Amino acid sequence: MSGHPAPRAPFRPRRAGPRRVLVHIALFFLLGAISLGLGLQGRALLVGHAAQLEGSLLVDTLLEGAAQRLRGALVGEDSPQALARAVDTGISSRKRLLKVEIARQVQEDQPNQDIARMALDTLAQGVLARAGEEDRPALQALYEAQAPVLATGLGEAADQLERGFSLARVRLNLAVGVPNYPLMYYYTPLLALGAFLLLFAAALAYTYWRGDEEKRAAVGQRLEPMDYLLPFFMGVIAFTLFPMVRVVIMSFQERYRLDGSFAGWGLGNYEHVLQGVPGTTNYFLQGLSNTLLYVLFTVPLATALAIVIAYLLNQRLRFSALFQTGYFLPMVTSVTAVGLVWRWIFNRNFGVLNAILGWFGLAPVNWLHAASNSMTVLVIFGVWSSLPFTIILLLSGLQNIDETYYTVARVDGARAPRIFRRITVPLLAPTISLVLIINSISAFKVFTEVKVLFSGYAGPALNMYTMVYYIYDMMYEYRELGRAAAAAIVLFVFILAFTMMQRWIQRRWQYE
Amino acid sequence: MQVRMEGLTKHFGATRAVQDFTVTLASGELVCLLGPSGCGKSTVLNMLSGIVPVTAGKIYFDEEDVTNLPPEQRGIGLVFQNYALYPHMTVMGNITFPLEIQKVPPREREARAREMADLVHMGGLLARKPRQLSGGQQQRVAIARALVKNPRLLLLDEPLSNLDARLRLEMREEIRRIQQETRVTTIFVTHDQEEAMSISDHIVLMKDGFLQQHAAPQELYNQPANQFVADFLGNPPINNFEGSISGGCFVMADGARVCLPGFAALKEGQEVRLAVRAESFVLAEGPAGDRLACRVDSVYQMGKEEMAVLTFGGTPLRAYIPSEEGLKPGDQVHLGLKDRGVFLFDSHTGERYL
């Protein structure tokens, strides 16, 4: 034993090494297996549930169908009451036992035709047993004449039920209370996720066992950021990307229904949205022109006003906290609640606005119920509600401007208007452009304001459709999901084009 | 233009930034306002420019009382530490902006801007935006912008602090050159004593809002008015020794003593501080009354001289000693004192006796 301490291992910087890849392979494999397993289990449960559901539906159809058809065949409008009663009691006397028998035969997968005949026969026997002596021969003759037709009809009805029965339909009609509802309802994404993770694990495993040390380390390094991104990204995929893709697809599916069925692929939705129904108002085009007008009025007005207000708020004013609270109030209030307040402000007889106009000797204006004033009202409300956010952004932009610019300019003799025009505004340009884009996008999406101001209608004379209002209408009033999706895509194209145009223009007057 | 401040005072609430500041700055000079951070030098500058109103006192530009004149009527050029060039304007736009405000016709504006740009050697870069320029170039543009309207007074607020060491030296000389060429009265605020010493005609040294001394750089160094001035100037800092006067000699607590001719005039028992600059020591042979008996602690090579750290009377001191003396740590040596750079201050008031 020497007195020297053992030599320390040479220092190596910590680095995500190849072992990280192994951990990932194991992890992805495990998660993939779990997800796949859950998906498969969900599917099995759903299939079981569907079979059960189908069986009981089939039994019910056959039983009730047989009862109804038999009664229909034996009892007419003019039959005496006694006969009708005898038929009814006869049918119900056999029903309970018959149900068991039908269930047994359905289980055994007997042809529906045969089960139907058996059911009709059983019920008919019951009826004959209850019928009076004098009626019996006539009833028997009547039944025997009709039986083949009745049985065929009932068998076909049952066949049709079976044919129309799909797993997808069962899944979409699944009640939330059903045990294991999430597993059964979401088995497809679970299967997809599981398959994806397993494939990914397999791909990683391949790189790991085929690649050299260097390659493994590189893969490990590459994987690290994914650890942090993936959990969040899952949410983005599920709730943002997937719906986006789905909307695009849906816009080409004509007559798309919530149960997933649709009439066919095509441009019909777009055609309907853009052309409307011939001879009637095209509310989409109305919405388009209203939206464009709204954007063109609201955005510049709100931005200009916000610049002035932000500039004033940025001065060291007395009571500036009070002013700030006042201007930022719309931000913390709900559009719906405030919209109701604005309905009062705009009220023809009791409204504040008309009262103020009255001070100046102006006649009261029918703000809310005259179609010609609708846009004015909407723009006023829109400007008001978009002010606070705009002011906050601009105020922060103003506060980023160094005080010394103003000092130098003041010492050089510049007065406030020139400083504002030549220094403040140009230095604020990046913020202004940001504000313009954000405000335009949100103005393009105007909906709640209309809905609230005009008491749940698109304007007093259905004259205030906006693009989103149209989408809403298509979606919730007409249940035309495909058309709503097509309108949404058109809106998207407009916003995109508008924003690109704005950026292109602004690039010309920005200093950076 | 001569600048005269009389009893200038500025209070920010309870904070006394500048107190009873009286100084006259000669026309055409470059004067440094020097002092540690928070001494009130920038406040003086801001009062001169009119950005900050005075609490009391008067400011005269030549014979004109400008105390209550708004900034734009004082004829001042201002340059900031961060240059404050308008980022959205070109160099040309920045330099012409003050003229635009004065409604100078565009043609003349450009001509004068070019002239200024040439003066600061930025003639070739008029179309650039500030962010395309280096820090030094930006500062040149800021100076051109401040000078283009022919100000009576140029105020520079720590103009070199944002530059790296090399550029700082270069710009220091440039500012000096530009000032010499234009002969505009210039006030330069800095906390860097070396910068102030090298650039200015006169230095105004401040501390805690009070004027300490107003003198030419060499005079400030050689004849400090008080302890603070002596401490603030010089690198390495001046060596201080605490002690008292006893029998015409300076005696330290542990008995170490040194006797110089002037000490006899002082009161017996007076508590004083002996201050000696590092270059004012000479290595002497053997002990004597006017020599300091020291022990060598360490020695640093600095070219032809050595910086020695020694201990005298329990207090460490730094001294420049010629390399050929070959001092070694542990040596006992005797240091004589030169005439220049040896001062005696009052221990409490900092007042200078010798």
What is the C-alpha to C-alpha distance for residues A305 and A432, in angstroms, rounded to an integer? Answer: 12
Q: Is residue A193 part of a domain?
A: no
CA distance A184 to A164: 20
Nearest chain A residue (CA) to B82 = A404
Residues A285 and A155 in one domain: no
Q: Could B101 and A408 be called an inter-chain contact, meaning their C-beta atoms sit closer than 8 Å?
A: no
Residue pairs between chains A and B whose CB atoms are closer than 8 Å: 56
User: Which CATH number is associated with domain B3-232?
Assistant: 3.40.50.300
Query: Which run of H or E residues covers position B32?
Result: strand B30-34
Does any domain span residue A8?
Answer: no
> pLDDT band for position A1 (50/70/90)?
very low
Phi-psi region of A203 (alpha: psi -120 to 50; beta: other; left: phi over 0): alpha
What pLDDT does B232 receive? 92
pLDDT the model gives residue B164: 86
Give the Cα separation of B172 and A280 in Å (integer).
Answer: 80
Q: How far is CA B323 from CA A445, B294, B301, B326, in A?
A: 82, 18, 8, 6
Determine contact, residues B310/B297, Cβ cutoff 8 Å: yes
Distance from CA of B346 to the nearest CA of A (A): 43
Question: Higher confidence at residue A80 or residue A285?
Answer: A285
Mean pLDDT of chain A, nearest integer: 86
What are the pLDDT digits (tens) for A35-69? Answer: 999 999 999 998 888 888 888 888 888 888 888 88
Q: What is the pLDDT of residue A7?
A: 56
Residues in chain B, overall count: 354
pLDDT at A482 over 90: yes
Q: What confidence tens digit (pLDDT) does each residue in A87-110 have?
A: 888 888 888 888 888 888 888 888
Query: Would you say the pTM of this structure is higher than 0.90?
Result: no
Q: Are residues A307 and A428 in the same domain?
A: yes
Among the three residues A183, A217, A243, which one is the final residue of a domain in this structure? Answer: A183
Q: Domain of residue A79: give its range.
A: 19-183
| Residue A1 lies inside a defined structural domain of this protein | no
Is residue A422, in this structure, part of any structural domain at all?
yes
**Residue A472: its pLDDT value, please?**
94
State the CATH number of the domain containing residue A391. Answer: 1.10.3720.10
Which pLDDT belongs to residue A2?
Answer: 45
In a domain? residue A204 = no
In a 3-state reduction of DSSP, which class is residue B131? helix
Say whether B239-346 and B3-232 share the same fold.
no
Say if residue A189's pLDDT is above 80.
yes
Asked if the C-beta of B78 comes within 8 angstroms of chain A's C-beta atoms, the answer is yes
**In chain B, where are the structural domains located?**
3-232, 239-346
Cβ atoms of residues B29 and B183 within 8 Å = no
Whole-angstrom Cα distance, residue B249 to residue B269?
A: 10
The reply to whether residue B72 touches residue A422, judged by beta carbons under 8 angstroms, is: no
Q: Report DSSP state, residue A6.
A: P
**Segment A295-320 mean pLDDT:** 88
How many whole angstroms separate alpha carbon B257 and alpha carbon B266?
Answer: 15
Cα B207 from Cα B34, distance rounded (Å)? 9
Identify whether residues A59 and A166 lie together within a single domain: yes
Task: Report whether A166 contacts A15 (CB < 8 A).
Answer: no
What does the pLDDT look like over A453-480, one tens digit per residue?
A: 998 888 888 899 999 999 999 999 998 9
In Å, how far are A26, A111, A157, A296 from A105, measured between CA atoms? 49, 9, 17, 71
Each residue's pLDDT expressed in tens, for chain B with a length of 354 residues: 899 999 999 999 888 899 999 999 999 999 999 999 888 899 999 999 998 999 999 999 998 999 999 988 899 999 988 889 999 999 999 999 999 999 999 999 999 999 999 998 888 899 999 999 988 899 999 999 999 989 999 999 998 888 888 888 888 999 999 999 999 999 999 999 989 999 999 999 999 999 999 999 999 999 999 999 999 998 889 999 999 888 888 888 888 888 888 888 888 888 899 999 999 988 888 888 888 888 899 888 887 778 888 888 888 899 988 877 778 888 888 888 888 889 999 988 888 988
Structure-token match 């989409």, residue found: A284
Picking from A166, A183, A200, the residue at the C-terminal end of a domain is A183
In A414-453, the residues whose Cβ lies within 8 Å of chain B are 414, 418, 422-423, 426-427, 429
Do residues B19 and B210 touch, judged by C-beta distance below 8 A?
A: yes
Q: How far is residue A55 from each of residues A65, A85, A267, A388, B258, measured CA to CA in Å?
A: 15, 31, 40, 61, 119
Shortest CA gap A303–chain B (Å): 21
Instruction: Write down the pLDDT at residue A333.
Output: 82
Mutate to test the interface with B, among A401, A411, A418, A510 (most CBs of B within 10 A): A411
Q: Is residue A226 part of a domain?
A: no
> Is the Cα torsion angle B256, B261, B264, B267 positive or negative in sign?
negative
Q: Are A40 and A156 in the same domain? A: yes
Tell me, what DSSP letter sits at residue B57? E
| DSSP secondary structure of A26-54 | HHHHHHHHHHHHHHHHHHHHHHHHHHHHH
In a shared domain, residues A142 and A31: yes
Q: A508 — contact with chain B (CB < 8 Å)? A: no
Q: Which residue, B160, B178, B181, is CA-closest to B169? A: B160
Closest by CA to A205, choosing from A189, A192, A197, is: A197
pLDDT at A509: 63
Amino acid at A440: S
Give the tokens for residue B265. Answer: 């005039």
Q: What would the mean pLDDT of A430-447 be, rounded to a whole number?
A: 91
Q: Does residue A401 sit at the B interface (CB-CB below 8 Å)?
A: no
Other C-beta atoms closer than 10 Å to the C-beta of A405 total 19
Q: Are the CB atoms for B7 and B58 separated by under 8 Å?
A: yes
Q: What DSSP element (H or E) covers A340?
A: helix A335-345
Token pair listed for A484: 């709503």
Point out the domain boundary residue: A149, A183, A217.
A183
A379-424, pLDDT tens digit by residue? 999 998 888 889 989 988 998 898 889 989 988 888 888 999 999 9
Domain count, chain A: 2
Q: How far, in Å, CA of A180 to CA of A187, rounded?
A: 11
Is residue A100 in a domain? yes
**ipTM > 0.85, yes or no:** no
CATH code: domain B239-346 is: 2.40.50.100
pLDDT band for position A213 (cuts 50, 70, 90): confident
Tell me the pLDDT tens digit for each residue of A329-382. Answer: 777 888 888 888 888 999 888 888 899 999 998 888 888 888 889 999 999 999
Chain A residues within an 8 Å CB radius of B71? 410-411, 413
Say how far apart CA B238 and CA A436 lie, in whole Å: 62
Number of H helices, E strands in chain A: 21, 2
The answer to whether residue A222 is domain-embedded is no
Regarding whether A278 and A174 lie in a shared domain, the answer is no
Q: Both A36 and A170 in a single domain? A: yes
